[in-house]
Structure 1
Amino acid sequence: MEKWILLGMAPVFLGLIVWEAWYWRSRRPEIYSWVDTFSNAGLALMHQVADAVAWTLTIGLFYLVYQHRLFDVPATWWGILLLVLGQDFFYYWFHRAHHRIRWMWASHVTHHSSERLNLSTAFRQSLTYPISGMWLFWLPLAWLGFEPTHIVAVVAINLGFQFFVHTQAIGKLGWIEKVFNTPSHHRVHHARNAKYIDRNYAGVLIIWDKLFGSFVEEDLAVPCEYGIIGQVHSHNPITLTFHEWAAMFRDARRAQGLRGALKQLFGPPERGLAHRAVNSDPEG
C-alpha cells in the first residue's frame, strides 16, 4: 500500500521538481545538477523495490503483534487522528535513532550525503533501511490496536508530506513554524554546521523536537552547509548506499575486542570518525 500511495503522488513530486529546477536556473543554478538529480532518482527506485520486499516480508509480523493488541482502535476520524499522531511520534524516535546509532546511520547517511538541498533530495533514500530496522519502530502501533494496513498507509502519507520540506525556495512560515515541520526547520536538519548538526528530527510535527530538546531554529546569519562530516564525493548509487556500511564493518574489525567492535556497530556515528582519525595518526 505504501508503494502505491507514493507512486500515486509521483506526478506531483516530479512536476514540482521540474518547477523548482526552473525557478533556480537563473537565480542559483548551483542548487540543481543533472548528475545529482539522476543519482537521487536511482536511489529512490532502489529504495522502493527494497521497501516493497520488506513490507511483504514483515506485514505478517505486524498482524501477529496485532493479534495481541491492547485496544481495538476504530477507523473513525479520531482513530485516524490518533494513528497520525502516534506514527509521527514514533517517526521522531526512528529518525533520532538513525542519527545516533551507527548501524542505523549506515542507512540514513545516504539521505544526507548530497551537498545540495532541493526537492529531488527527498528521493535520496537507501535500500538498506529494512536491514537497519526501520520497520521495528512501527510495531508498537500494531500492539496498541491500529490495523497494520492503516499503519502502512499513514507511514506513506507522512513520508509524502516530507517531500515538501526539502527545499530552499520557501522561507519561514510564521505561526506554522511553531507546530509543524517546515522547509526552514528541515534545512537545519540537513546542515552539517556545528550549530545545526543532529537537530530537528521531525516528520510532520516539530513539537516532538521542542519537547525532547532537539530543536534548533534556522539562523539566517549562519547559512546552512549541506552534506555530511567525512563527505563522500560520489554520485554512484551503489557507493552512496554502501560506503558507510563498509567503513563501519572495517572499523569494527579493527577495533580492540568484542566491546570495541560493538561500540563501532551500535555506538554514535562519530565513533567511526574518531577511530579512523586515531588510526591514521602516526603518533597514535
Structure 2
Amino acid sequence: MRHSLLWRILTPFILLLLVTLGSLSIYLTGFLRENYLAQTKSSLLSEARLLRTSLAPLLEVNPHDPAINELTRRSALLLNARVTVILADGQVVGESERPLSEMENHFDRPEVQQALLGREATEIRHSNTVNTDLLYAAVPVEKNGRVIAIVRLAAPLTYIQDSLRALVRSVFIASLIAALVGALMAVLITRSTLRPLGALNQAVTQLSTGILPEIDETPQKDELSRLQNAFRGMSTELQRRLNELAAEREKLEAVLRNMTDAIVIVDREGIVQRLNPAAARMFNIAMEQAPG
C-alpha cells in the first residue's frame, strides 16, 4: 500500500501540509500571546486612568484618608483586578489584597519607578505579596506638575495563561481539522486524477494474459484521460483486426475442408502443420494425428 503511486504522491503533500500548519500554529500562538498581553496591558492602563480620576481628589486633600483604601477595595471588586495606591515615597495607602499594615514599601518596584518619572508603565514579574506572577499597570497621580502618588492595577498571569491556553487549544484544533480536511481532499483529488491510470494498469494486465480489455471512454481532457482514451482506441482497433484474422482463418478452413485435392502444409523444417480431409484420406491417417 505504501509503495503505491497514490501514497507516493500524497505523502510529501501531507508532510508539507503538516509542516505548514504546524509553523502557522506556532506563529499564531506567539502572535495571539503578544496581542492578548498588549490588549490586557491597554485595558489595565485604561482602568487605572479611570480609577485615578476618582482617587486624585482624595489624594490631593489627605493621602492618608481611610476612604482611599475603602475605594481601592471596592474598585478591585468591580475591575476584577488587584488595586494598589502608592505614595511618592513608596508607602502603600490603598491595597485590595492585604491589610495595609502588612504592606512593605513599594518605592523600588520597577513600575513605580517609571510612574514616578511621570510615565505610564507596565511590568510582568513575581509578586512576593500575593506569591504569584502578575501583570502590573501603573499610572502617576500628579498635583501641580509633581507626582504625588501612583495608582497600580495588577492581573494574575494564571488567568492570562489560562486564556492563552484556551486560544492555543482552539488554534491546535482548527489546525488539526484543517489538516484532516486537506488530507481528505488530497486523497479524493489524487484518486480521481489517478483513476484513468488504474484503469490502464488493469487493462494492460488483462492484455498480458491474452484478454482484450474493455475500457470505458472518459470525457475528461487531462493527460491521463487522453492516454486512457488512446489506449481504448488501440484496444478497439486490435480487437477489430483479430476479428478480421479470425474471419479469414474461418474462410481458409472452409476452403481446405471442401477442396477435393489433397493439401498438406509444412513448416521450414518439413514438419506437417496442417492438412485437409482429402490429404488425410490419401495417407489414411486421422486429421488429429497429422500435425507434427
- As a proportion of its length, which structure holds more strand? 2
**Is the pair's TM-score, using the shorter chain for normalization, greater than 0.5?**
no
| TM-score where L is the length of structure 1 | 0.20
Larger Rg: 2
| TM-score where L is the length of structure 2 | 0.20
